[in-house]
Amino acid sequence: MAKRLVIVELRVSAQASEEGAFRSLVSLDVPGFTLDTTYTPEPTKPSDPQRLGEGEAAVFVRGEIDELFLSDLREHPWVLAVWDDALIEPTQATGRQSKRVLELTEIILTAHYPWPVDCDPQTPKGDLEAVAKYLGCDWIWQQGYRGNGIVIAICDTGIDADNVAAVLDGWAPNNALPVGQDEDGHGSMCATDALGVAPEVGLYDVGVLKGRSLLSDALKGYGWIIEKYRQAGMPQVVSNSWALYRSALAPQYAHDARHPLTRRIVEAVDMGICVVFVAGNCGDGGCPSLRCGEDTGPGRSIWGANGHPKVITVGAANIKGEWVGYSSQGPAALCQEKPDVCAPSHYSGYYACDSGTSAACPLCAGVVALIRQAFPSLNAAEIKEVLNETAKDLCDPGWDAFSGLGMIDARAAFSAASKPQA
């Protein structure tokens, strides 16, 4: 019998919610359901406040359910809603293409696209210093803004604090994978790339890709981010270099903005946090990730919160102006005009060649941090607007499904932000 990973929204006593205890859940005796007792109940705003009685609160838990009994779980008197849970993965390119594959890809692309395409994640096109200069960050530094006082939360596999400076705090899903450790390297790459354009920012290591790397882990990680922002006003920026690769893994998350993770990310934006997401690595420019399956190309490659209207969705190109052929294309499931912009990828940074839309996202987050430092009165929507308005066309003029509005231009965005708002 097929099993499904689920996030369950429950009614519990308010005291149990505050204590994070499982003792109120003993009555959740649905056949075929296995509760994950390692996942502490996560307090939440109820999706339907009218269903809560006096002295009750809502929490999320997670577990597995035999699909045959899914309707029984949804109809349980203590259950408010049941949502998809699924694996989320980093969006770094694998670099598996052989020379012959790259040659064949070049032939295919020449026949289909009138603009240059880069499908070679093994060859760097410049380094982080060249990227910062290309974007105009060096000019912003000369104005006295290098990210000081701004914190970027890197939601990823972790940050190796021994090799990447500036880790101030963070969250991890379990004690075996503490803050400041990165057994994968992907999160450390993203942290290094963010520091390459905003060298004086602080970093929070939010390990949503540690442990089981599920949507429910990101839900809890964003809970930590929101609470930290309430207490300290930081992080002001969140960088997310991960995605759901196939919509069939979590159809509700992919297509429904009411999914609890998407709602929580929107809550973070509405509080004042700038949230930056990768578009993903499922573009149909000749070299999509093997993990995408059939979910590639326009309208089939940007799922869930990665394409929500309120986040900044970032595709990839290189500093030669070549669109990266695996960069996911719009429209997104939750917004027609996605991606918003592109940022550089395929450059030497933490690795010999930092790649994927993963390498583009933290660069954009770093540019956002510079603007946030210089113009603290701008809200998330206004910062997104200046990035969009000043982006440089890459593929078609104006917005297009490949590159969005084009390559970010940090200097132009900074100058636009400095002008009095009408």
How much is the pLDDT for 185?
A: 96
Which residues, including other chains, have CB under 8 Å from residue 180's CB and lie 6 or more apart? 158, 159, 160, 161, 162, 167, 170, 205
Mean pLDDT value across residues 153-171: 96
Identify the residue with better confidence: 212 or 112: 212
Range from 100-104, 161-165, 233-237, 387-391 carrying the lowest mean pLDDT: 100-104
Choice between 16 and 200, residue whose per-residue pLDDT is larger? 200
**Cβ neighbour number for residue 402 with a 10 Å cutoff:** 28
What is the DSSP secondary-structure string of 364-409? HHHHHHHHHHH-TT--HHHHHHHHHHHPBP-SSSS-BTTTBT-B--
**What distance in Å separates the CA atoms of residue 115 and residue 407, rounded to the nearest whole number?**
14
CB atoms within 10 A of CB 181: 20
pTM, two decimals, is 0.94
CA-based torsion, 278, 279, 282, 284: positive or negative: negative
User: Scanning the structure block, which residue is given the tokens 């930056």?
Assistant: 276
Instruction: Provide, rounded to the nearest whole percent, the portion of the chain with pLDDT above 90.
Output: 81
Give the residue, 29 or 222, on which the prediction is more confident: 222
> What pLDDT sits at residue 113?
77
Q: Report pLDDT for 115.
A: 86
The DSSP element (H or E) to which 44 belongs, if any, is strand 42-44
Q: How confident is the model over 345-384, as pLDDT tens digits?
A: 999 999 999 999 999 999 999 999 999 999 999 999 999 9
Q: Among candidates 339, 350, 354, which has minimal Cα distance to 405?
A: 339
d(CA 200, CA 418): 21
Percent of the chain with pLDDT over 70: 92
* Pairing status of strand 56-66 against strand 3-13: antiparallel
3-class secondary-structure state, position 51 = helix
Classify residue 151 by its DSSP letter.
E
Residue 237 has pLDDT above 50, yes or no: yes
Between vectors from CA 129 to CA 323 and to CA 156, what angle results, nearest 5°?
70
- Per-residue pLDDT averaged across 232-238, rounded? 98
Sorted by sequence, the CB contacts under 8 Å of residue 266 that are 6+ apart come out as 257, 308, 310
Residue in the block written with tokens 């929070």 = 204
Helix and strand tally (H, E) in the chain? 12, 16
- Cβ–Cβ < 8 Å for 196, 131: yes
What band does 407 get if pLDDT is binned at 50, 70 and 90? very high
Domains of the chain: 3-84 (3.30.70), 89-418 (3.40.50.200)
Confidence class for position 16, pLDDT limits 50, 70, 90? low
Residue 27 binned pLDDT confidence (cut-offs 50, 70, 90):
low
Average pLDDT of span 35-62: 87
Min mean pLDDT across 39-43, 67-71, 379-383 is at: 39-43
Q: What DSSP string describes 209-263? A: TSTT-BHHHHHHHHHHHHHHHHHHS--SEEEE-EE---GGG-HHHHH-TTSHHHH
Instruction: For residues 267 and 356, give the distance between their C-alpha atoms in angstroms, rounded to a whole number.
Output: 28
For residue 99, the model assigns a pLDDT of 42
Segment 313-331, tens digit of pLDDT: 999 999 999 999 999 999 9
C-beta neighbour count of 231 within 10 angstroms:
8
pLDDT at 24 over 60: no
Write down the pLDDT at residue 89: 96
Per the prediction, the chain carries an average pLDDT of 92
Number of CB atoms found within 10 A of residue 20's CB: 11
CA distances from 68 to 36, 124, 190 (A): 19, 50, 41
pLDDT digits (tens, 9 = 90+) for 78-136: 899 999 999 999 998 864 443 434 444 444 554 477 889 999 999 999 999 999 999 99
* pLDDT (mean) for 143-155: 98
Q: How confident is the model at residue 21 (pLDDT cuts 50, 70, 90)?
A: low
Cα 98 → chain centroid:
29
On the question of pLDDT at 257 being above 70, the answer is yes
